[in-house]
Amino acid sequence: MTLRVYQGRYFARLFFLPVTSGDADGDVLGAVYRDEGESAWRFWYRFRWYRDARVFESEDQKTFYEGTASADLGETLTAMRAALGVLVARGPFEEIVVDSADPEIVITLLGEQPWATVERDGEARA
C-alpha cells in the first residue's frame, strides 16, 4: 500500500523516523490527510525493514496501517505524534508541515527530504 499523492488529497503532515532493532535497520513513514469531500482525517503509516539497497521493487519487509480518525485535526496529529513517540527512544522523528492539496507542493516537500525518493507515474509514491 503505497502512499499516493494526487489532486484533491489534502496532506496536513508527513512524518519520518529511522529505526533500528537488533541488527535490522528500517524506517517509519507516516501521513495525516483527507480526500476532497471527506470530513474525517485519515492517518497512514508503514514500517519498513531493509532487506536490500533498492528503493522500489525491493525485498524490504513492509507493514502498512491506515485508519480514519473521529477527531479533529489537532487531536489526530496529537495521536500520531504519540504513536511515533513510543518509537522515539530509537531516534527523533521528523514532522513535515504540508497543509496543501496541491500535488506539486507535496511532491516538492517530499523530494527535498534526504530520506525520500519520489516516483512519478501520474501519481507520486514514497
Q: What span, in angstroms and rounded, lies between the C-alpha atoms of 119 and 95?
A: 21
Helix spans in 3-95 (H)? 73-85
Q: Report how many domains make up the chain.
A: 1
Taking residue 85's Cβ as centre, other Cβ atoms within 10 Å add up to 12
Q: Name the residue range of residue 88's domain.
A: 4-125
pLDDT for the residue 39: 92
Assess whether pLDDT exceeds 90 at residue 10.
Answer: yes
pLDDT tens digits for 46-68? 888 999 888 778 899 999 999 89
The helix or strand, by DSSP H or E, that contains position 99, with its residue range, turns out to be strand 94-100
Q: For the chain, give the mean pLDDT.
A: 85
Q: Assess contact for 117 and 61: CB atoms under 8 A.
A: no
At 122, the pLDDT band (50, 70, 90 cuts) reads low
Closest CA to 47 of 4, 12, 83, 9: 83
pTM: 0.81
Cβ neighbours of residue 16 closer than 8 Å, sequence gap 6 or more: 27, 28, 29, 30, 93, 94, 96, 113, 115, 116
At 37, the pLDDT band (50, 70, 90 cuts) reads very high
pLDDT for the residue 90: 59
